[in-house]
Amino acid sequence: MRGPTFLFAIFAACISLAGAQDTTANVAVPVTAPSDAQPLWSTLLSFSIEQDRWPDWAGIDARNEFMHSALQNYADLTGSPPKFRVGADSEDHTMWSPTVTVNEDEFPPSSAITPYPEATQIVVGNEFYELSRWLPAGTHMIWGINLGYNNITNAVNMAKAIFNAFSLPSVTSSGVILERIEVGNEPDLYGDNGLRPADNWTVEDYVADWESVAGPVVESVGITSKVGPVTVQGAAFSGQGFTPREIFALGILGSTAGKDISTISQHQYSAAFCNGGDFGLISFMNKSSIRSNLTIFEADIAATYAQGLTYILGETNSVACHGAPGVSNTAGAALWVIDHTLFSSTIAIRELYFHEGVGYKYNFFQPITLNYSTIDGSPLNPPELPHIQPPYYGGLVVDTFVGSTGSAQVVELDVPNNNTSGYAAFEGGQLVRALFINLDAWTTNSTGTRPVVHLDLDFDGITTSYAMARRLVIQHADDTSNLTWAGQSYEQTSNVSPTGQLVLETVNLQQGIDIRATEAVLLTF
């Protein structure tokens, strides 16, 4: 971080916060890694970007400095920049043209529900892919290729343009690396979105279509192995409409392109705002719901690893169709990001790609100036400059917990409280960090005394005296700004650098720790 100052708050007793202790929970914290600990990948928290406005994220003649700084903050914490998948819905509306330089997009009208809609037609040229050079050095990319049009020539042209871009000196010298290609986005929805006949689009049809397009694609660019240097990302299903288990059973892994699949991707959202609606923040910030929304993938996760492949959520976020106002853009969503990401890691989901689009409500960051509201499409006067949103703080907490060694492991802690989650991180088999998230929603309409959960920590009978604590402080779950992480704000500068003193609390662990409703605390041992 950019030269922070430090403020140490030392407590002789447990940390006492505003309000009485409403609940006490006893939590066992292992000091050595249990046998079921899962690896914490440095790129656990990564990003999926809507393909249509990719140049806005990367920059064209020069890099987007705001975006670069926002991503570099994450890279500084883990030692690796987040990975970038460029694709999603507009992946299947993209055509390559030799006469276009960067891109030409056609957009439908804006609406109150969808102020910033996806393009219905994207025509791209070679320089579209060359913009990859503007991401932070060391970034690994996944590029999406159009399967929706069922046009082999176009898919092959897109693949060749991608590979040609990553062979150029300007891209190779940038340190940005092409890791995978993905042929088709959410093909289980093709029967609903008009890309295939609605009455008879089956998983068997999908496998046949995918093999017919992906086979020529991998042959045209010389992908020959699932161990790289460039491999194929498979499935990319919207949820459980089609499943990896089904396509494995249909023999996809034995096909020309299937043999090159290294990674299986599925997508996960908690709900959908496609037609509007009223979504409750309190019900969204729910420990049980977060787990039930993720454990539905466990059979596919197991089947994927049984094939020697890696499993990811290649697209995820709070509420589908760009997010729900009053939920996806709030401080409560920052806490959701933390619990959603870390619980995923404990069930062997190696990476989560949080989806972003210019003007989407659930974004971690808005990369360019916005001229109308993301909430209802009304004009903004003055326009809104590039800025982070509350979920960005969730990413800071996750990446601080992951650490920079690249070798950490994670387990979920059993916290006997319906609103509080806990995780422990290990390095070299030894406990190094623990994180607790209080999902109890304290909103602007809440009355009375703000609830507090007191945690008594048991370290396997070993006396551990002190830890250093960083706290994600939130005034209200429905706030859309004014969060602080370890005393610092990331909202006040144009380059996402932290402002304010870095607050590190020294905690007497024998007396426990308090966590207010709508708060997270990271302990470092």
Instruction: Render 472-513 in DSSP notation, one character per residue.
Output: EE-S-TT-SS--EETTBBSSSSTT---BS-EEEEEEEGGG-E
**Cβ atoms within 10 A of the Cβ of 298, count?**
12
pLDDT digits (tens, 9 = 90+) for 149-195: 999 999 999 999 999 999 999 999 999 999 999 999 999 999 999 99
CATH T-level fold of 23-36+408-524: Immunoglobulin-like (2.60.40)
pLDDT digits (tens, 9 = 90+) for 11-66: 333 333 333 448 999 999 999 999 999 999 999 999 999 999 999 999 999 999 99
What CA–CA distance (Å, rounded) separates 14 from 453? 12
Q: In b/e form, how buried is each residue of 467-489, taking b as 16+ CB within 10 angstroms?
A: bebbbbbbebbbbeeebbbbbbb
What CA–CA distance (Å, rounded) separates 364 from 324? 14
How much of the chain is helix, strand and coil, in % rounded to 5? Answer: 30, 30, 45
**Mean confidence (pLDDT) of the chain:** 95
Q: Binning pLDDT at 50, 70 and 90, where does residue 1 land?
A: very low
What CA–CA distance (Å, rounded) separates 179 from 301? 21
Q: Which two tokens stand for residue 360?
A: 């989407």
Residue 482 has pLDDT above 50, yes or no: yes
Helix (H, G, I), strand (E, B) or coil at 516: strand
Residue of 350, 388, 359, 370 lying closest to 481 (CA atoms): 388
- Domain residue ranges in the chain: 23-36+408-524, 42-402
Give the whole-number percent of the chain exceeding pLDDT 90. Answer: 93
Q: Are 89 and 357 in contact (CB under 8 A)?
A: no
Q: Average pLDDT in the 398-422 region?
A: 97
What CA–CA distance (Å, rounded) separates 330 from 483? 10
pLDDT digits (tens, 9 = 90+) for 453-476: 999 999 987 777 899 999 999 999
Quickly list DSSP for 230-297: SEEEEEEESSSSS-HHHHHHTTGGGSTTGGGEEEEEEEEEEEE-TT-----HHHHS-HHHHHHHHHTT
Give the DSSP letter of residue 196. S
Note the CATH number of domain 42-402.
3.20.20.80
**Cβ atoms within 10 A of the Cβ of 320, count?**
22
Q: Binning pLDDT at 50, 70 and 90, where does residue 384 land?
A: very high
Q: Are 242 and 187 in contact (CB under 8 A)?
A: yes
Residue of 412, 436, 439 lying closest to 426 (CA atoms): 412
Helix (H, G, I), strand (E, B) or coil at 75: helix
Residue of 74, 128, 115 lying closest to 403 (CA atoms): 74
What CA–CA distance (Å, rounded) separates 292 from 284? 12
Q: Residue 361's pLDDT is what?
A: 98
The pTM score is 0.96
Phi, psi of 193 (to 5 degrees): -100, 10
Domains 23-36+408-524 and 42-402 equal at CATH topology level: no
Q: Residue 6's pLDDT is what?
A: 33
Q: Average pLDDT in the 273-299 region?
A: 95
Cis-peptide, bond into residue 325, ω within 30° of zero: no
Residues 6+ apart with CB under 8 A from 184: 91, 92, 144, 145, 146, 147, 148, 210, 213, 236
Residues 6+ apart with CB under 8 A from 370: 358, 359, 380, 383, 384
pLDDT digits (tens, 9 = 90+) for 312-371: 999 999 999 999 999 999 999 999 999 999 999 999 999 999 999 999 999 999 999 999
Tokens 């010298």 sit on residue: 173
